[in-house]
Structure 1
Amino acid sequence: MTDLAGPVADNSELRTDVSERRAVTSHAPVGKVVVLVNPMSGGVGANAAAEATELLAGFACVSEVLLLDGESMDRTIEEALEGRPDLLVVLAGDGTARAVASRAGPDGPLVAPLPGGTMNMLPKALYGTTDWKAALTAILSDGEPRYVSGGEVEGHAFYCAAILGAPALWAPAREALRGGKLKLALTHARRAWRRAFSGRIRFDLDGGPRQRAEALVLISPMISRALDEPIGLEAAIMNPHAASDAFRLAAHALFDDWRLDPSVKTQAARRIRIAARSRVPAVLDGEPLMLQHDTVITFRPKAFRALAPRPPATEVAI
């Protein structure tokens, strides 16, 4: 039986004729690349490791592909970080990508969280595509380092958005439905509906006055349409008139012009304290979890460094 958590290939011996290999981006020192692949993740596929090995062999760098599995995933990630690569590529689910970015931190290697999950919120925000081979080719050819800001709560990081409050209860129903588990999806949906307005969350922003809302959405500067600089998380305070309106607003928070809705108020905040009578349902970058009934969310202006596409050159009018 093959050990899934281990090296698949090292291309340092492949294509020794450097003239046949493409130059790596000149905007960052990328001489050693490690790719972490979870072939069991929904958006990866069984051939991803071999495809990554072949793609990297075409670039003038030393690379290694490591497979992840549930039992030894943490150990493999730690070993990859201890190897001090210049670039750590993640082709796995959304939760794994967030975990690797969090462990790398602002002083660790560059991280490239490629689209390999179901929602791919962070990869889409960074690369604008769900084609991981296109994204990897683009950043290896001409990518540049970029600090990514985000938030942290109870040891969990998020880099796109957090939904807090009753609307987050719909996330398990959505995931069960996506997996074809209709009975489980119905059970979760009923639970979400019953709890939709059973209790509002209380919160304060940067130590300001205590407020109450049906839901609170925290959006990172990377995808916020209201923040031009990483000065904090965009806090969207939602007080819709009906449960269906609350879910609609939360579900489309990242894509629609929902800030014009009269039930929504926004402002930037660096420290958010939330409280409720019971544990608080939350969704962090698409992943559902339950938070303590009294907890603090902190803004991280430089959470980790990503290798991201260079922005297009701006033409200067003459």
Structure 2
Amino acid sequence: MSPLRLRHVELIANTASGGVGPDAPDLARRILAEHGLRGRVWTPQDGALPDLLKRAVDAGPDLLAILAGDGTARAAAECCGPDGPLLAPLPGGTMNMLPQAIYGDLAWPQALEAVLAAGQPRMLGGDEVEGRLFLVAAILGSPALWAPAREAVRKGRLDLALGRARRAWARAFSGRLRYRLDLDAPDKAEALAFLCPPISRALSDDAQALEAAALDPKGAAEAFRLGVNALTGDWRRDPAVRTARCQAAAVWAARGLPALLDGEPVRLAPRASIRWRPKVVQVLAPA
């Protein structure tokens, strides 16, 4: 397949994001110029991020590149939609879940160079939970409370991680979730994870479904192990996890649901519905 011909690129660089340095806008401009592309590099100095996304899409580019966190990448996917400009969600945040799924371990300049030189469009599906989009994975329930501790570990702040882990432990494993996958009978679990095709080992990249994983530790020892695995990112390999394939799900609990949507902590209502959307946005991926 021949490389895609691009003429007009709009790029948003959030210099306040965790993985974007102050020199990133100038470097992005040089890369675009080297490829003979017209467009503009936007930064937060030009306005608030939601307004920048709208202005960049309204400019009618062939490609919208985002150098920011997962939350901004998800918002950009919603702005572009399946029929809008191509999207390149470059790694510019802390967790970079969506960029990792598309570009692997490439740093953002190398990822941008790769797609400008020989990128190919790829339709990306995703999931919607109570009006919120996620394109990689969602975790509902107590393991979502461990995210702040995990981020402290990544930054080398073990003292901060320990304090956050203690707070998470005090709140975790205090109530089970009820859930239903598609039309199956209701069941219970400590927590649920929903994995989109880009990171699911059980689904092909073009699968029109998502993988659901029920996390259900029995007793304090398994709960501790699951908590440690949540810190290291290996929770899916835990023996207290069972998986299934579905296109829709309902989850409910006695109180509000703590959740991680593509790595971003959110609080959901006590009842939440999840549904698969086969066409969310076209991303520009390496050939």
Structure 2 length as normaliser, TM-score?
0.90
Gaps of 5+ in 1: 1-24, 311-318
Partner SS for 1:49: helix
Contact kept, 8 Å, 1:125 with 1:222, in 2: the verdict is yes
Alignment of 1:49-68 (within 5 A): 49-68=25-44
The offset of 1:29, in angstroms, is: 4.2
Please state if 1:143 is matched with 2:119. Answer: yes
The offset of 1:247, in angstroms, is: 2.3
Q: What is the rounded CA distance, in whole Å, between the counterparts of 2:229 and 2:153 in structure 1? A: 20
Partner SS for 2:17: coil
Moved more, 140-149 or 156-165: 156-165
Question: Corresponding residue for 2:173?
Answer: 197
Which of 238, 250, 260 is 1:283 aligned to? Answer: 260
Contact kept, 8 Å, 1:149 with 1:222, in 2: the verdict is no
Task: Please give the per-residue CA displacement for 1:225-244, whole angstroms capped at 9, x wherever unaligned.
Answer: 10124221100112123222
Contact kept, 8 Å, 2:126 with 2:135, in 1: the verdict is yes
Alignment of 1:103-182 (within 5 A): 103-175=79-151
Q: Which has the larger radius of gyration?
A: 1
Equivalent AA in structure 2 for residue 38 of structure 1: N
Alignment of 1:32-51 (within 5 A): 32-51=8-27
Q: What is the rounded CA distance, in whole Å, between the counterparts of 1:134 and 1:305 in structure 2? A: 20
Which of 60, 72, 75 is 2:48 aligned to? Answer: 72
Q: What is the rounded CA distance, in whole Å, between the counterparts of 1:186 and 1:177 in structure 2? A: 9
Question: Corresponding residue for 1:7?
Answer: none
Task: Give the 3 Å change call, closer, same or farther, for CA 155–82 of structure 1 in structure 2.
Answer: same
Question: Corresponding residue for 2:4?
Answer: 28
Equivalent AA in structure 2 for residue 66 of structure 1: W
Q: What is the rounded CA distance, in whole Å, between the counterparts of 2:56 and 2:116 in structure 1? A: 19
Which of 59, 63, 82 is 2:58 aligned to? Answer: 82
The offset of 1:33, in angstroms, is: 0.2
Q: What is the rounded CA distance, in whole Å, between the counterparts of 2:235 and 2:162 in structure 1? A: 27
Equivalent AA in structure 1 for residue 256 of structure 2: R
Question: Corresponding residue for 1:270?
Answer: 247
Contact kept, 8 Å, 1:204 with 1:211, in 2: the verdict is yes
Contact kept, 8 Å, 2:121 with 2:284, in 1: the verdict is yes
Q: What is the rounded CA distance, in whole Å, between the counterparts of 1:233 and 1:250 in structure 2? A: 20
Q: What is the rounded CA distance, in whole Å, between the counterparts of 1:112 and 1:173 in structure 2? A: 29
Contact kept, 8 Å, 1:217 with 1:250, in 2: the verdict is no
The offset of 1:160, in angstroms, is: 1.2
The offset of 1:164, in angstroms, is: 1.1
Question: Corresponding residue for 1:247?
Answer: 227
Task: Please give the per-residue CA displacement for 1:285-307, whole angstroms capped at 9, x wherever unaligned.
Answer: 11111111001011111111100
The offset of 1:154, in angstroms, is: 2.3
The offset of 1:263, in angstroms, is: 2.3
The offset of 1:83, in angstroms, is: 1.0
Partner SS for 1:50: helix
Q: What is the rounded CA distance, in whole Å, between the counterparts of 2:14 and 2:102 in structure 1? A: 20
Q: How many corresponding residue pairs?
A: 283
Structure 1 length as normaliser, TM-score?
0.82
Q: What is the rounded CA distance, in whole Å, between the counterparts of 1:252 and 1:227 in structure 2? A: 23
Structure showing greater relative contact order (alpha-carbon pairs closer than 8 Å, 6 or more residues apart): 2
Alignment of 1:91-106 (within 5 A): 91-106=67-82
Question: Corresponding residue for 1:295?
Answer: 272
Structure ranking higher in helix proportion:
2
- How well do the aligned residues superpose, as a CA RMSD in angstroms? 2.3
Question: Corresponding residue for 1:238?
Answer: 215
The offset of 1:252, in angstroms, is: 5.3
The offset of 1:80, in angstroms, is: 0.7
Contact kept, 8 Å, 2:147 with 2:231, in 1: the verdict is no
